[in-house]
Amino acid sequence: MLTVFEAFTRAALWVAVPAKMSGNDVLEALHPLILERGGPVYIRSDNGPECVAAPLSA
């Protein structure tokens, strides 16, 4: 499950519940939000040690 919310207002911006989700799927889900609202200052993740991904920005 991918849930994207605005931390200050706690407004849910996006919820996706696919059977499987890769790092590319996460980027595809975030892309429209970034175009609409701008890039995030930081990303908080609660995905445990089994989910390790490369950085999203270079």
Q: What residue ranges do the domains of the chain occupy?
A: 2-37
Confidence bin at 3 (pLDDT 50/70/90) = confident
Residue pair 16/2 in contact by the 8 Å Cβ criterion: yes
The per-residue pLDDT for range 6-53, each reduced to its tens digit, is 888 889 998 988 888 888 888 888 899 999 998 888 777 776 655 655
